[in-house]
Chain A
Amino acid sequence: MTALLETRNITQRFSGLVANSDVSISVGRGEIVGLIGPNGAGKSTLFNLIAGVFRPTEGSIWFDGEDVTALPAAERCQRGVGRTFQVVKSFETMSVIDNVIVGALVRTTVMREARRKAYEVLEFAGLAARAHVLASDLVPAEKRRLEVARALATQPKLLLLDEVLTGLTPTEAQTGVELVRRVRDTGITVLMVEHVMEIVMPLVDRAIVLDLGKVLVQGKPADVVRDPKVITAYLGDRHAVGA
């Protein structure tokens, strides 16, 4: 079976700055894949390219067996790519349920159906009690979950999570980890960008490490964390010597 998502030789330049160079990764159906790397490694750029925020300078992106390189973000969502934002972008002037309804409307134009789906997703994400609160009144951890709920309401095949676990308290992060697992168990493939290694590594099936815009290492989390190249990238040469 073909991979759900594949990037082929992606290169992205921003007026001279090369953010991604020749990145080829693939994500299989039903996997949880972690995309990690030090600051400035090009994770966010790759992420935005997959979500369709902008088009790569070179290379192509394949989703579900089709070339989606030229498709704008909205259309990729319609095809089944859901995403969250690193800096949360809730609809602050709308209630929590209305936020999620916007997502649900991609799959149906019947309001009753969209509302039902939205409640279902809120229940799943543990936000049902907050359905009628304004999104601006949520605490940060809840806003993260709202981002996930909104994306889930679009009924994606692939869910892109951009640092949803970063900056949370350990308990909140644990709830988040469980949520991601449950998402995967419903058959949705997950690609997540994360900083916090300890949380991500036990969660993901496979990790892809980016450094300086290139794929440094990819493989099983246990192997990746022990790879000298990864340690060098994160901590510098001095620490790698002893490894």
Chain B
Amino acid sequence: MDKDFASRRRRELIVAAVLALLAALAPLFVKDVYVQNIMVLTLMYAALSQSWNILSGYCGQISLGHALYFGLGAYTTALMFMKFGILPWFGMLSGGVLSALIAMALGYPCFRLRGHYFVIATIVIAEIALLLFQNWDWAGAALGIDIPIRRDSWLTFQFTRSKLPYFYFALVLAAIAWFVTWWLEDSKWGYWWRAVKDNPEAAESLGVVVFNSKMGAAAVSAFLTAIGGSFYAQFVSYIDPESVMGFQFSLLMALPAVLGGIGTLWGPLLGAVILIPLTELTRSYIGGSGRGVDLIVYGSLIVAISLARPQGLVSLFSRAKKVPAR
């Protein structure tokens, strides 16, 4: 009856598996630590953007405050390890659960807001959290936290000698975020989210509980984002409020998805692969005197994309799907 659909789904899985395999082999050829560093960041942002895409792309609730969950993940992991000696793996999980709970607590009032007002609320809340952390002495206030360095081990998830363990973790994270999205796409939730985004009133009339759908999307999205934050804390081993909860993270999570194709399965990955290396390269080549040039490049790209391909770059790959003339 719908063989096309089933085979498309299978093809997506195969493509993803091949890509993951190729990525896993990449370190055999790339020995340069600087390039490895860029690869880690690219995969991390692919995972983050994929998580962001669940709430903002599929469910249509544009958040520019995801830095909050990223920071919460980073702080939970770092604080639990430093203060209580709890291994980062548990910290990671706790950070994820905590973020999901906070996302739902914040969603309760915020999901009553629509459009721009919702976006503004997300920005403001993340900024408030940033201020709180900057003044919270127990959590290191504005000075931040130096994560105590132990021996290199998967147990403490610390590696001072090689970037490769981080690379593989980031790869797994990106793969999980992709897979979760893939799985949700063909589930009740996936359909509900797209319906909510497209026309909430019609969705309600078809038995979709709009509010619950948004809450579900927020929880999954925040959980995955926090895992990314925990990873980042381990990766850089020093965090302060500005470096994990600053507004730029919220942007860096949104932009790859927007560039690649918002609300699409491949958009965040494609966007991250283009955007993150570009940012890192412009930053290091133009560097010091040219501070902010990377942002100019960013801005131009986004403007160009939104004018030429509002549906994002993945739309270039889809078989000449007709675009409604508006």
User: How extensive is the interface on chain B, given as a class?
Assistant: 20 to 34
The chain A residues found within 8 Å of chain B, CB to CB, are: 51, 53, 72-75, 77-78, 82-83, 85, 89-94, 97-98, 101-103, 105-106, 109, 111, 114-116, 119, 132, 134, 136-137, 150-151, 153-154
Q: Are A89 and B322 in contact (CB under 8 A)?
A: no
In the complex, per-residue mask of B138-178: 1 if CB is within 8 Å of any chain A CB, else 0 = 00000000000000000000000000000000000000000
Q: Spot the interface stretch: B195-203, B270-278, B297-305.
A: B195-203
**B205 at interface (Cβ–Cβ under 8 A)?**
yes
In the complex the two chains form, what is the Cα distance from A98 to B197 in whole Å?
14
Known A91-B194, A116-B1: A102·B324 in contact at CB below 8 Å: no
In the complex the two chains form, what is the Cα distance from A2 to B68 in whole Å?
55
Q: Are A92 and B198 in contact (CB under 8 A)?
A: yes
Q: Are B2 and A98 in contact (CB under 8 A)?
A: no
Contact among B187, B194, B207, B324 for A111, CB-based, below 8 A: B187
CB distance from B83 to the nearest CB of A (A): 42
Which residues of chain A are near B192, meaning CB under 8 Å? 102, 105
In the complex the two chains form, what is the Cα distance from A116 to B194 in whole Å?
20
The chain B residues found within 8 Å of chain A, CB to CB, are: 1-2, 4-5, 186-188, 191-192, 194-195, 197-199, 201-210, 321-322, 324
Which residues of chain B are near A91, meaning CB under 8 Å? 194-195, 198-199, 202-203
CB distance from A173 to the nearest CB of B (A): 23
In the complex the two chains form, what is the Cα distance from A75 to B199 in whole Å?
17
Which residues of chain B are near A105, meaning CB under 8 Å? 188, 191-192, 207
Which residues of chain A are near B186, meaning CB under 8 Å? 111
In the complex the two chains form, what is the Cα distance from A53 to B191 in whole Å?
22
Most chain B CB within a 10 A radius of its CB, from A93, A116, A154: A93
Minimum CB distance partner of A78 in chain B:
B207
Q: Are B203 and A102 in contact (CB under 8 A)?
A: yes
Given contacts A89-B202, A105-B207, 20 further A-B contacts (CB under 8 A): A74-B210, A75-B207, A77-B207, A82-B205, A85-B202, A85-B205, A89-B201, A91-B194, A91-B202, A91-B203, A92-B199, A102-B194, A105-B191, A105-B192, A106-B207, A134-B321, A134-B324, A137-B322, A150-B202, A153-B206
What is the predominant secondary structure among interface residues of chain A facing chain B?
helix
Minimum CB distance partner of B199 in chain A:
A89
Which residues of chain B are near A77, meaning CB under 8 Å? 204-207
Q: List 11 A-B contacts (CB under 8 A).
A: A74-B207, A77-B207, A93-B197, A93-B198, A103-B206, A106-B207, A111-B187, A115-B1, A119-B1, A151-B206, A154-B206
Which residues of chain B are near A106, meaning CB under 8 Å? 206-207
Which residues of chain A are near B197, meaning CB under 8 Å? 93
Q: Are A74 and B204 in contact (CB under 8 A)?
A: yes
In the complex the two chains form, what is the Cα distance from A145 to B1 in whole Å?
21
CB distance from B48 to the nearest CB of A (A): 24
Which residues of chain B are near A51, meaning CB under 8 Å? 205
